[in-house]
Structure 1
Amino acid sequence: MTRLRLDDFLPYRLSIASNRVSNVVATTYQAMFGLRIPEWRLIAVLAESGGMTQQALGGRTRMDKVTVSRAAIALAERGLVERQPNPGDQRSHLLTLSVEGRRLYEQVAPKALEMEARMFAAFSSDELATLRAMLDRMEAAAEAVERQSRD
């Protein structure tokens, strides 16, 4: 029988690496901008995509409904996002960045890129391209397994 060893189990290792990177990012964003990771994710997605429903934000960020809702409420309370009626579905609202939210994004984005550069400075451009391609393949494989599990 094959024995499971966590240090060799790739899903575990990916989770640990992701948590470590997220913790570094979270500490920095909290100290500099008063943002938690879910809040930053919503800001970044809204900056790139424009108005979106909370459901669409959950799908895009892979965060659950409660996490998205809490982040959206916190951002709205700070005046960083605005809720507007959704012309395509009267039961939902579109969230968009406010002027202040856009301004904050313009401050955070360069810091995010700087942090990424620092974390991956020891990797060559070819290694980073390979890592990105592998992440794309892992996400696609996970999506395929999810689909099979639902069928």
Structure 2
Amino acid sequence: MSEPEIVTERDLSVRAESYAPYFLSLINNRLSWGASQLYLSLFDLGLNEWRILSALRNEPGIQALRVSEMVAMNKSVVSRSTRKLEEQGLAVARLVTGKRLLWLTKQGAKVHDEIIEIAYRREAALLDGLDETQRATLFDLLQRLADNLPKVEKLDRDLMHKTTETD
């Protein structure tokens, strides 16, 4: 059996400096990894738990489905992470009119408030060197990208549908 031919041409794929999804992903991965390691070290909580704490601090007494929507996280991940928060005494679930609603405990709110101070310091380090106008422009551009996500999702669905039609 012969050896497969290898490809040696370079620079024929996406590059962070010219392909927005890749660049955004690189930034997000580094920020998320750092935050996760930091929060695990200091609070024994990962990034998923932090996001849930934040959601419940913003909207106390909501269902897990609403948390999933707020933090763009899979329902099973929200369920596992919420269970961890409950086991640590940081969140509590109660049945109210037949619905399982989630709240932070006083300890959960305290931990949230400690983490958010660190999160704001990390954000300040990230945005260092940008004046208020540049920061406003950055958030405006990011919002425009977020507003375009339904178009990307539709494209994905269309392409998947097209692929299944040709199979």
TM-score (norm 2): 0.80
Q: Is 1:13 the counterpart of 2:23 in the alignment?
A: yes
Q: What are the Cα deviations for residues 5-54 of structure 1, in whole angstroms up to 9, with x where unaligned?
A: 23322111111111111112112211111110000000011111111111
Aligned to 1:73, which of 68, 83, 101?
83
Q: Is 1:35 the counterpart of 2:45 in the alignment?
A: yes
Tell me the distance in 2 between the aligned counterparts of 1:49 and 1:55: 13
Higher mean C-alpha deviation, range 101-110 or range 66-75: 101-110
- Quick one: higher RCO (CA 8 Å, sep 6+), 1 or 2? 1
- Counterpart secondary structure, 1:74: helix
AA matched with 2:63: T
Tell me the distance in 2 between the aligned counterparts of 1:134 and 1:15: 16
Q: What are the Cα deviations for residues 45-73 of structure 1, in whole angstroms up to 9, with x where unaligned?
A: 11111111111100110001111111101
- Counterpart secondary structure, 2:23: helix
Q: What are the Cα deviations for residues 79-98 of structure 1, in whole angstroms up to 9, with x where unaligned?
A: 100001142xx2x4111001
Instruction: Kindly report the root-mean-square deviation, in angstroms, between the aligned alpha carbons of the 2 structures.
Output: 1.8
Using the TM superposition, give the Cα deviation of residue 4 of structure 1 relative to its aligned residue in structure 2, in angstroms. Answer: 4.3
Runs of 4+ off more than 3 Å: 147-151
Tell me the distance in 2 between the aligned counterparts of 1:57 and 1:126: 32
AA matched with 2:56: L
Q: Which has the larger radius of gyration?
A: 2
Q: Contact 2:14–2:22 at 8 Å: present in 1 too?
A: no
AA matched with 1:101: G
Using the TM superposition, give the Cα deviation of residue 106 of structure 1 relative to its aligned residue in structure 2, in angstroms. Answer: 1.9
1:124 aligns with: 131
**Structure 2, unaligned runs of 5 or more:** 1-11, 159-167
Task: Please give the residue correspondences for 1:129-144 in structure 2 after superposition, counting only pairs within 5 Å.
Answer: 129-144=136-151
**Structure 1, unaligned runs of 5 or more:** none
Q: Is 1:57 the counterpart of 2:67 in the alignment?
A: yes
Tell me the distance in 2 between the aligned counterparts of 1:27 and 1:128: 27
Higher mean C-alpha deviation, range 139-148 or range 53-62: 139-148
Q: Percent identity?
A: 27
2:100 aligns with: 93
